Structure 1
């Protein structure tokens, strides 16, 4: 008898090799950037800058993770976007900005011209390249505009944090505690969302490209988003250059309205995703795959939290894990259904719908007929009022 064929380990080997190469690339970029900052400002100033810039990470990253609550993206891709911005985009932009400044102004007599016109093009290109790579290699994981915003926002958050280290360290090296405090106030406290506000425009274009059935939209949407990001970045830098003696006016006239518009955009984007999940899952109610109360629970963060708390009280960690898996699978099912509605009926999408329907059917069995469902039924939450929006 012939021995059984040996399992093919090449896919796993390629995967680990790719992970190793990416890790080496991120480590090299991050270390190079730290050495560059240390050379410019010194070890103590760099240490102060790193500690204070963590505030940016603590403020900005949770906002984009909050955006990602309904249909959570793979952790590896989220980490890739963040590290791309922090390690690769910052170092590449620093090198290209310095080189471009020399080419644009060999005598270095007009620093502002490079900051206004050159830096936005280079920095938005470097930040946007990371999410663009995810679009090329992981297109099926990007289910719409909100996903593109999340990846672009995290890349920009990583970039902003490291760039703030540069400015904070320089502020301390040049003017001591006063320089450190003023830089922290202007860059970290007053404008932590500056870079994410620009780069989410690129992310919107990437989200459109990932889900559009039209080839011309897949080409033009990311380019249009990038142009908007560069334009906003240029406008911001022009205002910063012109407001050397009137930074408070600049903040009130430009920065604050842009921030309000950004907050409005991300809130509307999440509300839109909730409505999309409700609408798409509602199509499975008549066929018996889901019930009206389930769709209500699955399309509301508040109701999802209630369902998880109920599962914890009545079934412990195991029930919580199954409820969370049910919620994640249902969100993914809604996104796949949306792709089908947009005309993408390729075999992988159709196959994903069938697999997710089977998974959701298996996971919901544990909760059918329980008090959790009666809770929604007693409140008279029905499909026509809540989910039947088609």
Structure 2
């Protein structure tokens, strides 16, 4: 299959028995990419360890462990929410791990190293601005969102084949934000612990505010960067990526600034500010993500329908693969024969195929995506054969 200049992509390859040229091409690329991914994860992991050792030395073992345990609760809430977003087309585990390590380690290290320098520059540029406003409302959003955004941008280039739309960007950026919030919460909880001289109401109050009422704050800020990049990468062009990053970063910084200084601008009572503005904004974000998930499901059905027309799927398979109810039905059917693992692989490969097809339709990386399409079709054929074989054996029993 080739991209036809000026006329959009050609139709999908024909019948499943058709020879697929170039199937060996992606293998070498995956190997090199795998090594790079491992190196990046290892480097980000080392930075996180160094940040952890720094915090351990600064806070002491008891405060570090206690506040770390408390910080796991909002982290778990955020990761559960991001898992809900990511259920339709789960991102590669290695990319998600890197995103968390970048957020919890690298972005924190960048913030610690550059925060004071940027603050000094801001003092020179804005000498009449109160120091607390400079640090909290201007410097922190600028440095933190830039540091987090660099990790999301890196994933655009390193995991390009799996970064193909707004939802992918939101998931990756959300994990980066959740990682950053995890480390930052350890610091905030420890400050409350030390100021009160031990566990007490102050620590509990800070935990409720940051850990229970606003665990998604950093996730939402950084998700704006992921959304901008996700929209940009849907079609080819380096300029689109630059524009998507700039727009997303501007939105993230503005949201972060408003969160940090909103009470001074809107209301001096946190709960009034929270329920009048932050709750509606969070509800709007949830509504937007829900709409994007529905669009992704619709797109899956549309693109798989093209393969069905070429003979790769039956219409019944497209219905099973492109709706939540159909997937549940398919997994239940496969589970009765002990073939649920193969069915999960079949669903995952079919979804990746549909999204690869969408990239081809958009004219993005035609050579790489054509080779990936061929590889996925081969994997799908093999998985279907294994699935039906296990199901047939189960019926005989």
Corresponding residue to 1:137 among 148, 158, 161: 158
- Please point out which of 240, 246, 255 is paired with 1:223: 246
Q: Could you say if the C-alpha distance between residues 13 and 153 of structure 1 is closer, same or farther in structure 2, counting changes exceeding 3 Å?
A: closer
Q: 2: CA distance between counterparts of 1:33 and 1:102?
A: 26
- CA shift for structure 1 position 24: 4.5
Correspondence for 1:304: 327
CA distance in 2, matches of 1:146, 1:29: 26
Shift of 1:369: 12
How far apart are 1:268 and its partner, in Å? 1.5
Pick aligned residue for 1:333 from 353, 360, 372: 353
Alpha-carbon displacement from aligned partner over 1:217-256 (angstroms, at most 9, x marks no partner): 2321121111111111111111145578411111112211
Q: Which has the higher contact order (CA 8 A, sep 6+)?
A: 2
> In structure 2, what is the equivalent of residue 233 of structure 1?
256
Asked if the contact 2:235/2:362 (under 8 Å) is kept, the reply is yes
Count of aligned pairs:
359
CA contact (8 A) 2:47 2:109 kept: no
The equivalent residue for 2:6 is: none
- Name which of 37, 50, 54 aligns with 2:72: 54
Q: What's 1:146 paired with?
A: 167
Unaligned runs of at least 5 residues, structure 1: 1-8, 373-390
Deviation at 1:193, TM superposition (A): 0.4
Structure 1 residues 311-368: Cα deviation after superposition (integer angstroms, max 9, x where no partner)? 1112x1xx11211111111001100110121123622211222222232233334667
Bigger shift: 65-74 or 241-250? 241-250
2:44 and 2:102 in contact (8 A); partners too:
no
Superposed CA RMSD in Å reads: 2.8
Q: Secondary structure at the match of 1:283?
A: helix
Which residue matches 1:101?
Answer: 119
Whether 1:188 and 2:205 are equivalent positions in the alignment is no
Asked if the contact 2:170–2:227 (Cα under 8 Å) also holds between the matched residues in 1, the reply is yes
**1:45 Cα shift?**
2.4
Instruction: Determine the structure 2 residue equivalent to 1:76.
Output: 94
Please tell me whether the aligned partners of residues 131 and 203 of structure 1 are also in contact (alpha carbons under 8 angstroms): yes
Task: Measure the CA separation in 2 of the matches of 1:330 and 1:203.
Answer: 24
TM-score, reference length from structure 1: 0.84
Tell me, in whole angstroms, the C-alpha distance in 1 between the residues paired with 2:278 and 2:61.
32
Native 8 Å contact 2:263 2:269 kept in 1: no
- Of stretches 104-113 and 129-138 in structure 1, the one that deviates more from structure 2 is 104-113
Q: Distance in 1 between matches of 2:169 and 2:36?
A: 27
Conserved 8 A contact 2:111-2:147:
yes
Q: Secondary structure at the match of 1:253?
A: helix
1:90 pairs with 2:108 = yes
